[in-house]
């Protein structure tokens, strides 16, 4: 796919997402023909489209989660069979000849077109006094599995089929059916991508998302500085000022380096491990590569100094609040040195070095595992912002947009989220099996 096709594809996806946001639908069936047009083969295009639809459904579902318009009990019954069906459908999609798959997708799209033109009767309204235990759970499981199977097969989350089933056969109210339908659609999108993976997903169509996972490194670090907020003389003034200056300076440097790399190195920029060193070598000669490597090494000391200081203060604060042993709480006060927590941080770092040296793990998995940790921290942070900021304000909407972006980053990070999830699970188990000290607030 050339640059013009990629730009056209992105523009079409944006237009579909904008229209879907207006009418409250994902509209994957409108996006799918264009995805198939630029895909390497139909099954891979279907896998890419269902993944894009899952991301779009996530952004829409956030609003319903916040408003409490999701029946979580019904979701718990409907999501698992829907995911199993989507995985099976995605796998079967790769077993079918390309022409046969295109015919199947065409028939589904034609059905949607006819369905939009015909007149619909109003579904029977659920009585207001009816309880959740009167919902037809068997219908939810069967329709979830069936719609998931078909959706995984053709590359659509098929919310337009699931929604009528929720109203007519399951008996859910319209308000909660919309949110529940979108939430199940998110799970179908994830499972559909998994089902299409054995025969290939057209990852080129999702290259922007993959690149975004590594672009996390361009602004990683702010979460470490927040633990040092008490060390600032005027945190309310100094932290926003320092953050703004950092964004402007670092963003400008990244844009300048990217522009220079593309303009000077051209296509060869993607064939070298260190484009900046190549630029310096062209300008100043061969020895510039060595100088660039030494400068880069020295710069890492400043970064590590910030991370070690932030981690040490964080460990002391967690010890003070009962989330870690109280022995680590020394140095949690502003202006003091958390020596015990700093020592533990250094020991953990040395242990990590030893593991890497013993196993011979390359830089690729290490970078992506660290990216997964960054993204997990950002997800928790922006989710807290959505919960705490006044609803409807500019800050709240910014947090919503940030959360949607982080969800996309989480999808592109993939299996490397296992590490932060495992760390979080261990932390929750520790909190559950330890008694908080008097006066400690764990909320």
What pLDDT is recorded for position 244? 78
* 190: CB partners within 8 A, 6+ apart: 51, 54, 83, 411
> Tokens 């520790």 belong to which residue?
430
What pLDDT is recorded for position 78? 92
> Tokens 């800050």 belong to which residue?
395
What pLDDT is recorded for position 437? 57
Q: Is the pLDDT reported for residue 129 higher than 50?
A: no
Span of 21-25, 139-143, 358-362 with lowest mean pLDDT: 21-25
Span of 35-39, 307-311, 331-335 with lowest mean pLDDT: 35-39
* Contact predicate 102/42, CB 8 Å: yes
Confidence tier at 340 by pLDDT (50, 70, 90):
very high
What pLDDT is recorded for position 233? 78
Q: Is the pLDDT reported for residue 144 higher than 50?
A: yes
* Contact predicate 238/256, CB 8 Å: no
Q: Is the pLDDT reported for residue 246 higher than 70?
A: yes
Span of 63-77, 220-234, 254-268, 347-361 with lowest mean pLDDT: 220-234
For the stretch 308-329, pLDDT in tens is 888 888 889 888 888 888 888 8
Q: Where are the domains of the chain?
A: 3-201, 209-357, 361-443
Mean pLDDT of 11-26: 63
pTM: 0.48
Q: Is the pLDDT reported for residue 378 higher than 50?
A: yes
Span of 31-45, 232-246, 263-277, 380-394 with lowest mean pLDDT: 263-277
Please state, in angstroms and rounded to a whole number, the distance separating the CA atoms of residues 78 and 86. 12
Mean pLDDT of 2-15: 65
Mean pLDDT of 112-141: 64
Of 209, 212, 210, nearest to 220 by C-alpha is 212
For the stretch 157-183, pLDDT in tens is 888 788 888 888 888 888 788 888 888
Q: Is the pLDDT reported for residue 88 higher than 80?
A: yes
Confidence tier at 219 by pLDDT (50, 70, 90):
low
What pLDDT is recorded for position 128? 45
For the stretch 265-286, pLDDT in tens is 766 666 666 677 777 777 777 6
Please state, in angstroms and rounded to a whole number, the distance separating the CA atoms of residues 366 and 399. 29
Confidence tier at 34 by pLDDT (50, 70, 90):
confident
Burial of 109 (0-12, 13-18, 19+ CB in 10 A): middle
Query: Tokens standing for 430?
Result: 């520790």
């Amino acid at each position: 796919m050339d640059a013009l096709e990629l730009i056209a594809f992105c523009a079409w996806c944006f237009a579909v997402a904008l229209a879907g946001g207006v009418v409250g639908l994902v509209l994957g069936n409108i996006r799918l023909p264009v995805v198939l047009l630029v895909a390497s083969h139909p099954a891979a295009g279907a896998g890419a489209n269902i993944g894009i639809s899952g991301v779009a459904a996530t952004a829409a579902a956030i609003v319903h989660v916040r408003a409490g318009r999701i029946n979580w009990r019904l979701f718990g019954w409907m999501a698992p069979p829907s995911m199993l069906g989507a995985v099976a459908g995605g796998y079967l999609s790769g077993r079918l000849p390309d022409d046969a798959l295109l015919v199947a997708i065409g028939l589904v799209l034609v059905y949607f077109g006819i369905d939009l033109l015909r007149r619909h009767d109003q579904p029977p309204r659920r009585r207001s006094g009816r309880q959740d235990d009167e919902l037809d759970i068997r219908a939810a499981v069967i329709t979830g599995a069936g719609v998931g199977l078909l959706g995984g097969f053709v590359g659509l989350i098929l919310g337009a089929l699931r929604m009528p089933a929720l109203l007519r056969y399951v008996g859910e109210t319209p308000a909660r059916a919309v949110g529940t339908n979108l939430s199940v659609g998110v799970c179908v999108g994830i499972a559909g991508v998994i089902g299409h993976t054995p025969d290939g997903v057209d990852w080129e169509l999702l290259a922007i998302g993959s690149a975004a996972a590594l672009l996390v490194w361009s602004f990683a670090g702010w979460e470490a500085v927040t633990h040092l907020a008490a060390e600032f003389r005027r945190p309310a003034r100094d932290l926003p000022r320092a953050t703004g200056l950092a964004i402007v300076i670092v963003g400008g440097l990244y844009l300048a380096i990217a522009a220079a790399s593309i303009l000077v190195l051209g296509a060869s920029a993607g064939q070298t491990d260190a484009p900046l060193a190549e630029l310096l070598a062209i300008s100043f000669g061969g020895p510039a590569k060595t100088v660039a490597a030494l400068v880069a090494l020295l710069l890492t000391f400043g970064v590590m100094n910030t991370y070690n200081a932030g981690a040490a203060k964080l460990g002391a604060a967690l010890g003070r609040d009962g989330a870690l042993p109280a022995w680590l709480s020394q140095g949690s006060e502003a202006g003091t040195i958390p020596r015990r927590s700093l020592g533990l941080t250094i020991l953990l770092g040395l242990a990590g070095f030893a593991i890497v040296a013993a196993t011979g793990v390359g830089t690729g998995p290490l970078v992506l595992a660290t990216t997964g940790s960054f993204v997990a921290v950002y997800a928790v942070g922006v989710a807290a912002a959505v919960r705490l900021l006044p609803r409807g304000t500019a800050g709240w909407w910014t947090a919503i947009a940030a959360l949607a972006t982080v969800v996309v980053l989480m999808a592109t990070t993939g299996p490397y989220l296992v590490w932060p999830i495992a760390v979080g699970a261990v932390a929750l188990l520790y909190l559950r099996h330890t008694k908080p000290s008097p006066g400690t607030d764990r909320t």
